[in-house]
Amino acid sequence: TYTTDTKSRGENKQTIENLYRLSVDIKKIRRLKEWVLLQDVAYVKEVAGILQEMGANETAVANILERCPEAILHPPAEINCQRALWQLVCQNEKQLIKLVEQFPESFFATRYHENQKANILFFQELGLKNNIITRFLTSAPNIFYNPVEKNRNVIETLQRNYLNLGGSDANMKIWILKLLSQNPFILLNTSTAIQESLDFLQKNDFTDHEVLQLLSKLKGFIFQLTPTTMQKSMLFSKNVFKCSDRELKQLVLKCPALLYYSVPVLEERLEALLKEGISVEQIRETPMVLELTTQIVQYRIKKLSALGYDIKSGTLESLNGTKKDFEANYGKIQSKKERPIFNPVAPLHVED
In the prediction, which pLDDT does 164 show?
A: 92
In the prediction, which pLDDT does 4 show?
A: 42
pLDDT by 10-residue block (mean), the chain, 352 residues = 47 93 93 93 95 94 95 95 94 93 92 93 95 93 94 93 91 91 90 90 91 85 87 94 92 91 93 90 90 90 84 79 84 73 50 43
In the prediction, which pLDDT does 338 show?
A: 66
In the prediction, which pLDDT does 5 show?
A: 44
Q: Taking the model in full, what pTM does it have? A: 0.77
Distances (CA, A) of 67 to 13, 106, 283: 20, 11, 45
Is residue 2 within a helix (H) or strand (E), and if so which, with residue range? Answer: none
224 vs 179: CA distance, rounded Å: 13
User: What are the chain's domains?
Assistant: 10-110 (no CATH), 112-220 (1.25.70.10)
Length of the chain: 352
30 vs 49: CA distance, rounded Å: 23
347 vs 281: CA distance, rounded Å: 46
CA contacts within 13 A on the Cβ side of 234: 24
Query: Any alpha helices (H) in the chain, and if so which ranges?
Result: 13-21, 26-33, 44-53, 58-67, 76-87, 93-102, 104-107, 113-126, 130-139, 148-164, 169-182, 191-203, 208-217, 227-241, 245-254, 257-260, 263-275, 280-285, 294-306, 323-338
**Which one, of 121, 135, 218, 123, lies nearest residue 177 by Cα?**
123
**3-state class of 149 per DSSP?**
helix
Q: Determine contact, residues 64/104, Cβ cutoff 8 Å.
A: yes
**CA torsion, points 124, 127, 130, 131, in degrees to nearest 10?**
-150
In the prediction, which pLDDT does 351 show?
A: 47
CA contacts within 13 A on the Cβ side of 335: 6
In the prediction, which pLDDT does 6 show?
A: 45
